[in-house]
A and B are shown apart, each in its own frame.
Chain A
Amino acid sequence: MSILKKIVSAVRGGASELGELIVDSNGTRIFEQEIRDADNYVRKAKHDLTDVMAKQMQASRQVESTRQEIRQHESYAVKALEQNDEKLALEVADKVAKLESDLEEQEAVLTAFTDHVTRLKTLVKKTERQLADYERQLSMVKTTESVQKASASISDNYASTSSRILSAKDSLERIKKRQQETYDRIGAAESLEKEEQGDLDEKLAAAGITATPKSAQDVLDRIKRGQT
């Protein structure tokens, strides 16, 4: 069952069951132990990884050096053949054959180390993911526990004083009253502004500074004047 499902059923069953959830096989203590184990495992795997990676680098350098030696001896063999020294060329070829056999072994070692590095890296990633998952689950359990306890404290505290916070209706009345006051204030400010602006408009019109509104008759008169 997912941790969330467990939390839901524990919360529904009452706080005492949540307490059991905290200490049962999926509870806090086991989680914390699992997180510590996983953390140690990751640390050890990372340590192993650096060791193996160092060995891988070493093997890789060895392979490269043997390859270079082979190329060098091949060029010696070519030079010996150019000087018609078949015997020397054969000796060099023998050396190359030995080097090639070494190279094969070294390459096998390198492949083994490379595979090991890949395996360890996958393991580290997987364990780190698991660790993050444990931490997430632990955080869910702890938060639920904390909220439950907080809720109990709040209830106890308010039960002993007054149940002020529990009355939604009272809160609503106050909120509405406050909201109405705010609206009234805004309304009053707006009407005051309108009045002041209205007075000013009238005075300006009376002084002939602003044009008075045109009536339909004015417009008709103007059109008639235009016709004559």
Chain B
Amino acid sequence: MATVDLAQRILDIGSFDGFEFDCQPIPGEIDLLQVTVSEFEDLPVFVSVTDNQILCITYLFAESDLDPSRRSDMLEEMLTLNIPMPLSSFAKIDDRYVVFGALAIGSGIEEICHEFITLTENCAEALLALEEYLK
């Protein structure tokens, strides 16, 4: 499935489970979508489609947002929260901490929408949980 097809499917479905979606392509070297879930407009989901998976990523905060003296405590808390957090995991890309979820390439649009909602909710929840470690 190409990124363009996914974008079309998201636009077609429009809303799911009471949430509305907005979807925009991001220019760059690889095809990328920015999907926002209503009520969570400031936590966009970045979606890329690879050979075998659909990767959904939301940004938590940058390394520079962290209180350096509490960095290792926060990392440990992230590891502890990783399993309880449903369907999403913590990760780091360059100097930014993220929450991400991966779906099989053959996933249906409803599963994909469910992923967007869960991911943004998890991201909001994680920000609240990890607030004390921020500067």
Residues of A near B32 (CB, < 8 A) are 150, 153-154
Partner of B50, one of A146, A157, A169: A146
Q: Are A153 and B59 in contact (CB under 8 A)?
A: no
Measured in the bound complex, the distance between the Cα atoms of B46 and A152 in whole Å is: 12
Q: Are B28 and A171 in contact (CB under 8 A)?
A: no
Interface of A, secondary structure class, is helix
Tell which of B14-22, B70-78, B106-114, B124-132 binds the partner. B124-132
Q: Are B50 and A153 in contact (CB under 8 A)?
A: no
Q: Are A175 and B124 in contact (CB under 8 A)?
A: yes
Measured in the bound complex, the distance between the Cα atoms of B62 and A166 in whole Å is: 7
* Chain A count of residues within 8 A CB distance of the other chain: 28
In the complex, A178 has a CB within 8 A of chain B: yes
Q: Are B59 and A142 in contact (CB under 8 A)?
A: no
Residues of B near A143 (CB, < 8 A) are 50, 53, 55
* A143-B53, A143-B55, A146-B48 known; A154-B42 Cβ under 8 A: no
Measured in the bound complex, the distance between the Cα atoms of B134 and A170 in whole Å is: 12
Measured in the bound complex, the distance between the Cα atoms of B55 and A146 in whole Å is: 10
Q: Mark B39-59, 1 if CB is under 8 A from A, else 0.
A: 100111010101111010101
Residues of B near A146 (CB, < 8 A) are 30, 48, 50, 55
In the complex, A174 has a CB within 8 A of chain B: yes
Q: Are A142 and B28 in contact (CB under 8 A)?
A: no
* Chain B count of residues within 8 A CB distance of the other chain: 31
Who on chain A is nearest to B24 by CB?
Answer: A157
In the complex, B5 has a CB within 8 A of chain A: no
Q: Are B29 and A151 in contact (CB under 8 A)?
A: no
Interchain nearest-CB distance for B111 vs A (Å): 20
Interchain nearest-CB distance for B119 vs A (Å): 14
In the complex, A225 has a CB within 8 A of chain B: no
Q: Are B55 and A152 in contact (CB under 8 A)?
A: no
In the complex, A164 has a CB within 8 A of chain B: yes
Who on chain B is nearest to A157 by CB?
Answer: B26
Q: Are A150 and B46 in contact (CB under 8 A)?
A: yes
Residues of A near B93 (CB, < 8 A) are 147-148, 151
The 10 closest A-B pairs by CB, nearest first: A153-B28, A168-B61, A149-B30, A149-B29, A175-B124, A151-B93, A150-B48, A168-B65, A171-B42, A146-B50
Mark B residues whose CB is within 8 Å of A: 26-30, 32, 39, 42-44, 46, 48, 50-53, 55, 57, 59-62, 65, 93-94, 96, 124, 127-128, 131, 134
Mark A residues whose CB is within 8 Å of B: 139, 142-143, 146-157, 164-166, 168-172, 174-176, 178-179
